[in-house]
A and B are shown apart, each in its own frame.
Chain A
Amino acid sequence: MTRNQKTETRNPAPRNRWGFEDLGIGIGLRTVHYAHILEQRPEIDFFEILSENYMDTGGRPLWVLDQVAERYPIVMHGVSLNIGSADPLDRDHLSKLKTLAGRTRARWISDHLCWTGVAGRNTHDLLPMPLNEEALRHVAARVKTVSDVLERPLMLENASTYAEFTSSSMPEWEFFGRLMEEADCGMLLDINNVYVSSFNHGFDPERYVDAIDPARVTQYHLAGHTNKGTHIIDTHNDRVIDRVWELYGRSVARTGNVATLLEWDADIPSFDEVHAEALKAAVHRRPEEDSRRGNAASKPGPSGARARLRKENVARAS
């Protein structure tokens, strides 16, 4: 047996384009869980951080992050890259992003296929793109630039969208497929967002997940949402619905096990409750791949199972 074969026995060769490993099942690092994580050191495969929360501070958030990164694998997820905007790329943002990735030894960096503002403004929302040839060329060129600056491939997530432009000429899955080929980027496939957008725009979510090149998927997102009847809002404030779990299982059957993360950003319950919800993903993952990884956290957990930081200032008597 050669050395390479031995390695493969423990960690099945990743199927994705860049060889990024399956990190297992993780959750987002959130302020309300800081104390629990630092004190209890829970067993969890990885954490995802909201990049912007740690890029403009020298205080407690970064101190906590350093300790978390010391113990757990970190992936970085951003909300302000503004990749689809007509504005120039924010070089200060990119520079800080790169510095943070080095500091945390982030496995990869992701953001969203969207625009967040024009004319120098940031709406702090993930606004929908017109899905046409012009936008495709524009975004592809910018993705290449970002990848060059960051010196690593960029992963883009499909955002939940609530509006479509009449100028769109292709479905989102086709746009993504062509973008990933053209710009050589990867995809953070948010299954909940596929479901939310399919409801809002009336497309078949299975068609979406079936169309994505499995070799480009490096991470999954799962989350809860709010169904308003006429439309669904991606609120990250609840458990994952069964239909989204089904879609996830369908996609995993194509991609194999890929790092999977549960987002819970509003009305956040305890760490254990969030983690238990995330661990439901194990049911849909391939046990033979997990057992070869020796991934303890991928065992099913108990069944039934935001970007703003809080200041923790303490007043002292005068």
Chain B
Amino acid sequence: MQAVIEQPGTADEAVVSAAARAELDPEDIGRVVRPSKTLTPVERVGVYQGMYLLRMIEALEGDYPAVAHFLGGEEFAELVTRYAAAHPSTSFTFNRFGRYFPEFIRETRGVRRKAFVADLARLELSVTEVFDAAVSPAWPADAIANIPQEAWEGAVFRPIAAFRLGAYGHPVNAYLQSVKEENHDHPDTGRKATWVAVWRKRYEVWRLEMSEPAHAFLHDLTRGRPFGKAVAASARRLQGSAGDQLFRWLRDWVAEGMFEGVTLS
């Protein structure tokens, strides 16, 4: 029955699919499922089969609203149909169903504006992951003043669990924002390097688009690079007087609750 339910197309097409045939000869379905007064056995199984993909599409529309908006209903449904066949849900929750979607888009032929859509999906996956991530209390904004002068060099900043940082080849954050605001005057989606932090603060998910140097510095910090080395690397990138800028960024990020704490060596 499951082999039929998971097939796309009509119920008649589903029962003669290779996967369904491997379980049951289409001629024998009447020996397994009873007819009702109004429906044949195939039509009765078809009630379940018709709802299966609709549920999968609805689930991913919830996780990937901007991708769904960009592709449009028909193209998105077709993409999810292929995705569900390649990565059927294996969890008790739908929360994990879409986790391979960005990768799937990147590897699938025929997706319109594939590089942009894959990038956009990657950002939306970050939002989903951050939304559901475990709670880790944010480091208080004023705690930064308590780090001893001599400890700064080796200080390692730990991001909260609900934090993701991404580098993209397209203006995906601007596009996502336009979809969220139901603004149909979408930004240009051509190639453009962008960098976005996604994190959760007081149970709301926030996105911050940033410059390349800011991203590089934050990337170093959240990957466990000691503060002194991260500053040195950023100073080389900024070619000179970066100290004040780097500290202002760090102070802002701490105030935004991106870190759960700092490890002092």
Contact of A163 among B6, B41, B162, B177 (CB under 8 A): B41
Given contacts A165-B33, A166-B32, contact A56 B96 (CB under 8 A): yes
Is B48 positioned at the interface, with any CB of A under 8 Å from its CB? Answer: yes
Is B34 positioned at the interface, with any CB of A under 8 Å from its CB? Answer: yes
A 95-135 to B, binary, CB cutoff 8 A, 1 in contact else 0? 00000000000000000000001111111110100000000
A315 to B95, CA, bound (A): 21
| Contacts of B121-135 to chain A: CB distance below 8 A | 127-128, 130-135
Binds A, one of B55-63, B184-192, B220-228: B55-63
| Contacts of A166-188 to chain B: CB distance below 8 A | 166-167
Contact of A124 among B41, B94, B127, B173 (CB under 8 A): B94
Is B67 positioned at the interface, with any CB of A under 8 Å from its CB? Answer: no
Q: Are A311 and B135 in contact (CB under 8 A)?
A: no
| Contacts of B91-143 to chain A: CB distance below 8 A | 91-96, 127-128, 130-135
B36: chain A residues at CB < 8 Å are 164, 200-202, 230-231
A312: chain B residues at CB < 8 Å are 204-205
Q: How many of chain B's residues touch chain A, expressed as a range?
A: 35 or more
Is A257 positioned at the interface, with any CB of B under 8 Å from its CB? Answer: no
Q: Are A313 and B92 in contact (CB under 8 A)?
A: no
Contact of A231 among B1, B47, B132 (CB under 8 A): B47
Given contacts A313-B131, A313-B204, A314-B206, contact A122 B180 (CB under 8 A): no
A233: chain B residues at CB < 8 Å are 47
| Contacts of A53-109 to chain B: CB distance below 8 A | 53, 55-60, 62-63, 80, 82, 90, 92-93
Q: Are B38 and A230 in contact (CB under 8 A)?
A: yes
A11 to B206, CA, bound (A): 48
Given contacts A56-B96, A90-B92, contact A314 B204 (CB under 8 A): yes
13 sample A-B contacts, Cβ–Cβ < 8 Å, listed by A number: A52-B92, A57-B131, A60-B203, A93-B92, A123-B52, A125-B55, A127-B5, A163-B44, A166-B33, A230-B36, A308-B94, A313-B131, A318-B173
- B interface residues with partner A (beta carbon < 8 Å): 1-2, 5-6, 31-34, 36-39, 41, 43-45, 47-48, 51-52, 55-56, 58-59, 62-63, 88-96, 127-128, 130-135, 161-162, 173, 176-177, 180, 200, 203-210
